[in-house]
Amino acid sequence: MSATHDTIGEYLAEAEPVLALWHHLFELVHRDDERPRSLEGLSRPASVIYLVGVFEGEVVKGGFRRFLADPSGDLAGETLQALREVGAHISVELLEKALGVFPDRVAPPSRDGRLTLLDRADRDDPGYLAAFDELYNQHVDAQSPHRLENISVLLLDYMKQHASDRLAA
C-alpha cells in the first residue's frame, strides 16, 4: 500500500495514482465500517473521486441494480453530480436513465424504500436495468474493446486539475 498524502497532487507520483488515492479515501470514509460514515470530512474534489470510484466498482461488480440497492445508492444524486464533474457523460446518461425506476428519477434515501421500488421495477420490466448494464459494459467497462469512456483517465485528469486541493475539507 502506498503512503498517505494530504493533497490530491501528491498521489500523482504513485505507480497507480487513481487507485492509491481511492483506497486512501475509502479508508477515510469507512474507518473499519462497511457502510460509509460520512463524506463530511472530505473536500469536494476528494468526495468526487470517492463517489466515482464507488460507482464504477459497484456497476462493474453487479450492475446498476447493485449500485442503487447497496448503501452506495444512498448517495445516488451526489454520485450523478460527481460523474458530471469528471466529465463521464456516458455514465451520467446511463445513471440518469437507471434512476427512472424511482419517482421523479430520485433515489429514496432509505435503502428499504429503494429496494421496494427496485423489486417493483424488476417485476414490471425485468430487463430495464440490465439494458443499461449492457451499454455500460460495451462503452465504459475497462474490458470492452469498444470503450468510449475511460473512467480512470477521467479521474486522473480530474486529479491533475485538483492537484493542490487537500483531501480533508
Whether the CB-CB separation of 165 and 42 falls below 8 Å is answered with no
Closest CA to 141 of 56, 75, 83, 65: 56
User: Residue 77 has which C-alpha cell?
Assistant: 444524486
4 lies in some domain: no
For the ranges 31-40, 84-93, 112-121, 145-154, the lowest mean pLDDT is seen at: 31-40
Count of structural domains within the chain = 1
Give the tens place of pLDDT for each residue, 2-43.
Answer: 678 999 999 999 999 999 999 999 888 887 565 555 688 899
pLDDT of the residue at 30:
82
pLDDT of the residue at 145:
87
153 lies in some domain: yes
3 lies in some domain: no
Tell me how far apart the alpha carbons of residues 52 and 58 are, in angstroms, rounded to a whole number: 10
35 lies in some domain: yes
Give the tens place of pLDDT for each residue, 42-82.
Answer: 999 999 999 999 999 999 999 999 999 999 999 999 999 99
1 lies in some domain: no
Please give the residue range of the domain that contains residue 117.
Answer: 9-161
85 lies in some domain: yes
Output 4 or 107, whichever has higher pLDDT.
107
2 lies in some domain: no
Tell me how far apart the alpha carbons of residues 27 and 39 are, in angstroms, rounded to a whole number: 12
Tell me how far apart the alpha carbons of residues 91 and 51 are, in angstroms, rounded to a whole number: 13
Tell me how far apart the alpha carbons of residues 163 and 105 are, in angstroms, rounded to a whole number: 33
19 lies in some domain: yes
